A = this chain, B = another copy of it.
Amino acid sequence: MVVIAPGGDAAHPVEDARVVRTRNDVSRAALRVLTEQGWDAVTHAHLARTAGYSRATLYKHWPARTDLLRLAFARLDDMPHHEPTGDLRTDLVEEVTTFRTGMEQHRLDRALCALVDLATDDPEMVEVRDQLVTDGEQVVRRLLAPMLHGARLEAATLMLCGAVLHSALMHGQLPGDDVIAASVDLLLRGLDRP
């Protein structure tokens, strides 16, 4: 039964707002549990306890465990980006630094690894991954597109994003400011050549 309360109407009942709130609460909890405790911990029972809802509510809206994981990754979609100033070096350094900050604040290393594993077997998770990656790389690609295209644009994008990813995942530490600046400078020096 849809309850029409003050502020709601037949087309947009208040029920919607409750679902939105529940989704917000559960997705926030899902992302936190995923990044702090690993993806084995993302279960209906554990998220229900963590977010303060009944297990029945969680099963009703998100029947499968992958639904819960998708919910967690959906929160990463609006990752912050640097607002370009027009100075290419500054803009690239700032954008890569913003990516590093996201890695740090959201413990993206762990979340991304979970996503890679899930995407191996689940086409729906491939879509989630692709959307996240497209969004994540868009500013770097846009900044480089006037100078590069095809394989060179692809290579440059992979190198700048990959430097942060490789450092975070494989070295277990984020690249320093000096390493980010050196990455951008090595790339731009190559581009400068006539």
Contact = CB atoms under 8 A, between A and B. Distances in A.
A129 B171 CA distance: 8
A175 interface: yes
Contact of A172 (B126, B175, B192): B126
Contacts of A188: 190
Contact of A190 (B109, B166, B180, B187): B187
A8 to B, nearest CB: 42
B151 A182 contact: yes
Interface residues of A, number: 55
Interface stretch (A69-77, A80-88, A152-160): A152-160
A15 B135 CA distance: 57
Contact of A162 (B152, B165, B193): B165
Interface string A171-194: 110011011111101111111110
A167 interface: yes
Given A162-B163, A189-B190, A189-B193, A155 B172 contact: no
A131 to B, nearest CB: 12
30 contacts: A39-B117, A40-B40, A109-B120, A110-B116, A110-B117, A110-B120, A116-B169, A129-B172, A133-B171, A151-B181, A152-B182, A152-B185, A154-B175, A154-B179, A154-B182, A155-B175, A156-B182, A158-B179, A159-B160, A159-B183, A159-B187, A162-B163, A162-B165, A165-B165, A166-B166, A169-B169, A187-B187, A187-B190, A189-B191, A189-B193
